[in-house]
Structure 1
């Protein structure tokens, strides 16, 4: 189902209901309430009281009141719901259209109250009702056009409006629509005589209804389709579909109705209610879609939260105890889950390994691949002693798993049992050796990122002269590319300078201080990429 269209079944139902009154009339089942006959099998003719006769004489007026009041209630509820919709979705087009329907409903209420002589005296209903119908229908379609045309004519200007500007525009439109409705009501309250508008013998019995008919045709054929195309939503599509019963109502009135409460008169009022109900249906369906989307979002958030907890549980403790070494690290994702991970491994022959991996992307798939990489590496490192063999096996496994659609950059360093030597594999990832004298050596990549090709053996490099006070730094680009509110990157130099200035601090404290410094630099803004830092220091 298209989220911006009414279901085909709903559109078909509206079309069927629009045609149904005409079909009933053609079949001889007319909804005619001009004269309602008293059932003499229930009331013997000689026992009929004037009150009973009056009730049957007023059956058409009663039905008219019920239909108009139903239309009023539907329009009012639709208008109010449109503001709730705006609060949820911030689509200013919806409350503007809802405001138009709201004031159309108020005008309908005024008309029926006046027709029932509850507001001011109406001398001739045969003049008043046809004329006020034409005026109210013209008002209805005119303010709908006034509410939608600015979004077509001044599209770019309307799209650039800020939320306060939208609210001011909405209040202005509501004030103007209300002023127009009030002016119409005042005119009818003062001018008791209205023009003749019903000509039963004419081919067009109600010529005043041609104007709203033409406007509705223009709206339904030209304006509303363009509006829905430029501002696709269920409500906009419902507005377009509501033109069908609105046009049908005007056809009944302009060319069919020759008297008050006749078949075409009743059909037109029923179709007007249907025209008000369709936008309301659009709002209800949109609320349903929003509710389902919210449930899906919450379910996704729950799953991501669970995945995040699993990913965090796979990380080692922030600090590690290893003879002759201080080791610590941290990692956090830019979103709910990420593709970075780090690990510390205690290997045979008193060796100690530190590894940092960065999977392409930082979504759920990246998090799963990071977990797979960790599992593979641990398994191979337990059974193999040669780092090149371990990394090659890992690379080949990732090529098979990812079908070369994803890759993993990885830096894996293994400190020898004597603590003075180091071998490392740098698969598309750099490391940095900070010497005791504060000089920095870049340990460049010596192989392609893992998972890209299964051709060749992963190369390793070796260092033999490691001394007390030397430090090995492995980071992902999330920390170096962390941005301040001014758009400045934290950068590698700032990381290295911070570590040099604070080299006298214990490694766990130093890592925690670095993380705090990055957070301060970014003023709490979330990073654009996952952040991982691992630091090893030789202390013996």
Structure 2
């Protein structure tokens, strides 16, 4: 099942073949049908007859609507394209929230402002907004300006993304804001010019080979995008959206061919085909973005499922390991105790029959079995922490510290230790026995690894994270506790190693020996309480252990 999902995931990297075939069919079919005699033009009746002919009211109304047929079809086509452009940019920002990938919304911003230009083109043509130029010049010129804007802006931003390091695509919204401002300013400038100009350049030359030469510039730009810019971008990204851009450029080339070499009048067949295909050119990126969004969502689901399965596997493995450690440690204790006892019996009963070397070997055997006994005891303690859940109760940490000081009283007296509490500790919900273990281990280490004549240990609580705390530490509903000493300190390169089980930074017998399991046990207890532990230290100055506990 999972193998099939991986194959499916790989296949989703490209646009479905059906989508590509449909786009090709829809793009070229109108031209073929037009060659076969199907006329897509919307030819309006002249209003001149109204001046010379008397019409009944109903007939007059129908005559007027007939004269506006071309404008109505033009409006329908343009507004459809504008609405799709708006939906595309909305989906692009949804995609951005999911992936934090700035590339898609930057490109879609260009499409959105192209839709805005198309909306102005339509509103001005329908005289719903004020424009001073004659309608026969306004419509073709605003079309050409909108196409030039669309082609130019797309090429600029895709080229920028090509040469911008890919690692910077997941960045702040600075590039996106720049895109919006730049596109907005350019679009506003063009719209203002076209709306206020009383005379716009002539863009239609019905008798010429190139009937609309102004559209030749966006045609060249779309060809550059189709054969150079967009393929390079797709090679870099290889997503349904990047492949959709190539299809879009292909459709736009066909659109401009209809205008440059075919359309000789407003609302003729090539004019309407071009406007219809512009809807297709806006729809293709929308479809590509939808597929990209589906792919991203499925990837997130696959990742979530994989993490869940790995978590289950890790929990099972950890449980088996803990069970093994517990059983092995428990079963080792009995034979080890026998070896230790027999070594002592041999030493006591056969001392007079052994030379000094034999006695020394037995002493070493007893010492080694005692050390192994300590290791097994600590391993049992560590594995038992994982097997037995914590029991949360309200606990006054001030009383916990008094209990710890009582347990360590002899060591405190012998080592000239001063333990102080910076300010009263809070009452928290915790497993008291485990937290007692935490403080015993930390304070014991502060005493053990301290060569000062006066060993000073400070215990406290903070309301906010200290400077230098790990960024991943979560302090919501938690307090930061610390144990600070003036001991020998720890070099920064050892900060991670000290939490490894049975890891010691010094020789076996230095600083009173020990197994090296104490801090590992502390870390596991803190983790069980959904907290974190870290340290700050400087050699020959001292160490501060910080840990968080929920209050």
TM over 0.5: yes
1:98 aligns with 2:81: no
Matched, 1:352 2:331: yes
Partner SS state of residue 200, structure 2: coil
Q: Distance in 2 between matches of 1:353 and 1:494?
A: 21
Q: 1:5 aligns with which of 6, 14, 39?
A: 14
Q: Mapping of 1:223-238 within 5 angstroms? A: 223-238=229-244
**1:52 aligned onto 2:62:** yes
Determine the C-alpha separation between the residues in 2 that align with 1:505 and 1:494: 10
More helix by share: 2
> Structure 1's 516 and 114: CA in aligned 2 closer, same or farther, altered over 3 A?
same
Deviation at 1:90, TM superposition (A): 2.0
**Helix, strand or coil for the counterpart of 2:121?**
helix
2:92 counterpart of 1:87: no
Contact persistence 1:131–1:195 (CA under 8 A): yes
Mean Cα deviation higher: 211-220 or 116-125: 116-125
Pairs within 5 Å for 1:80-159: 80-121=90-131, 124-152=134-162, 154-156=163-165, 159=167
Match of 1:307 among 294, 305, 313: 313
| Number of positions where the alignment pairs a residue of Structure 1 with one of Structure 2 | 381
CA displacement at 1:119 relative to structure 2: 0.5
Q: Give me the TM-score of the superposition, normalised by structure 1.
A: 0.62
Q: Which residue of 1 aligns with 2:38?
A: 29
For 1:510 and 1:213, locate their aligned partners in 2 and report how far apart those are by CA, in whole Å.
70
**Is 1:512 the equivalent of 2:521?**
yes
Residues 4 and 237 in structure 1, CA contact (< 8 A), matched pair in contact too: no
How far apart in 1 are the matches of 2:519 and 2:254?
77
| Structure-1 separation of matches of 2:513 and 2:523 | 14
Work out which of the residue numbers 287, 294, 307 in structure 2 matches 1:281.
287
1:324-343 to structure 2, matched below 5 A, reads 342-343=325-326
Cα deviation, residue 173, structure 1: 2.1
Contact 2:45 2:63 in 1 (8 A): no
CA distance in 2 between partners of 1:421 and 1:17 (Å):
92
- 1:520 Cα offset (Å): 3.4
Indicate whether 1:495 and 2:508 are aligned. no
Mapped partners of 1:517, 1:108: distance in 2: 62
Separation of aligned partners in 2, 1:168 and 1:99: 14
Please, which runs of 5 or more residues in structure 1 have no aligned partner? 38-44, 318-340, 355-413, 423-461, 477-483, 524-540
- The offset of 1:225, in angstroms, is 0.8
1:311 positional shift: 2.7
Query: Counterpart of 1:163?
Result: 171
The whole-number CA distance in structure 2 between the counterparts of 1:159 and 1:417 is 60
Structure with more of its chain in strand, by fraction: 1
TM-superposition CA deviations, 1:155-212 (whole Å, max 9, x none): 34x6457723xx2222122101100000011101210321111111111111111111
Question: How far has the Cα of 1:18 moved from its partner?
Answer: 0.8
**Matched ranges for 1:251-400 at <5 A:** 251-316=257-322, 342-345=325-328, 352-353=331-332
In 2, the alpha carbon distance for the partners of 1:467 and 1:288 equals 62
- The alpha-carbon distance between structure 1 residues 310 and 253, as it changes in their structure 2 partners (threshold 3 A), is same
Q: 1:194 aligns with which of 200, 216, 225?
A: 200
How big is the shift at 1:218?
0.8
1:420 paired residue among 328, 336, 340: 340
Whole-Å separation in 1 of the counterparts to 2:132 and 2:96: 40
State how far apart, in whole Å, the 1-side matches of 2:194 and 2:519 are. Answer: 82
Deviations 1:228-277 (Å, cap 9, x if unpaired)?
22233322221121111111100001111111111111110111111111
Q: CA deviation at 1:352?
A: 2.1
Q: Distance between the aligned counterparts of 1:281 and 1:211, measured in 2?
A: 27
In 1: Cα distance, 2:39 partner to 2:157 partner: 37
Residue of structure 2 in register with 1:431 after alignment: none
| C-alpha displacement of 1:511 | 5.9
Aligned to 2:340, what secondary structure does the other structure show? coil
Matched residue, 1:18: 27
1:407-450 Cα offsets, whole Å, 9 max, x none, are xxxxxxx945614289xxxxxxxxxxxxxxxxxxxxxxxxxxxx
Are the aligned partners of 2:222 and 2:252 in contact in 1 as well (CA < 8 Å)?
Answer: yes
For residues 110 and 420 of structure 1, do their structure 2 counterparts lie closer, same or farther at Cα, with a shift above 3 Å needed?
Answer: same
CA distance in 2, matches of 1:311, 1:49: 86
RMSD over aligned Cα atoms: 3.8
Q: Deviations over 1:269-317 (max 9, x none)?
A: 1111111111111110011112222222232233233323433443446
Q: CA deviation at 1:28?
A: 1.7
SS of the equivalent of 2:261 reads: helix
**Change over 3 Å in CA distance of 1:36–1:244 after alignment to 2:** farther
Aligned residues of 1:352 and 1:417 also touching (Cα < 8 A): no
- C-alpha deviation, 1:27, in angstroms: 2.1
1-structure distance, mates of 2:254, 2:535: 61
The Cα of 1:522 is off from its aligned counterpart by 7.2
